[in-house]
Amino acid sequence: MLFSHSLIRGGVHPSGHKQLSNHKEITILAPPKRLYINLKQHTGSPAKAIVSAGDKVIAGQMIAKGTGSSANIHAPQSGVVLKIALHRSAIPGGGEEQMIHLQCDPEDQNEVIKLETQTNIEEQSRETLIDIIEEAGVVGMGGAVFPAYHKNTLYLK
């Protein structure tokens, strides 16, 4: 056994209170009216917005280009860019960060730009796969959320 609860002593074990909601149906929330998309998504430098106030964007469209050690950012929802300005960050102690203020379309999100995912990895070079990962804005799942392509380009040389 790789992990045993008997090895860990102490700690906090609060009740999950699952009985408050485990009998309720899952509901789909209405789309938000406005989104604030932080250009600084990790400990590295912020991405650079490639959209401007007044631009109409479609869900999945690239709206910010990664710079240095940052990843590309894509619109999570269709809408109109209201402005790119400072806004209070949701990260504790984060202060204000540059964000894309997006007024979301009230209608269903029928228009979606789909990233090409039907790539046969066996037929692609390592460099091509890294380019695809970079374009898609794939990031690591560690605490620093560094771009996956940046990690791999270090090993290409």
What Å distances lie between residue 86 and 45, 57, 95, 120, 152, CA to CA? 15, 20, 10, 41, 32
Give the 3-state secondary structure of residue 41: coil
Predicted local distance difference test score (pLDDT) of residue 87: 94
Residue whose entry in the numeric block shows the structure tokens 């949701």: 90
Rg of the chain in Å (alpha carbons):
20
- Single pTM value for the model: 0.73
Provide the residue ranges of all domains of the chain, joining segments of one domain with +. Answer: 31-108+120-153
Task: Give the CATH number of domain 31-108+120-153.
Answer: 2.40.50.100
Under a CB-based contact definition with an 8 Å cutoff, are residues 71 and 37 in contact? no
- Model confidence at 27: pLDDT above 80: yes
Residue 70 CA, distance from chain mean position: 12
Question: Considering only 61-65, 112-116, 134-138, 140-144, which range has the smallest mean pLDDT?
Answer: 112-116
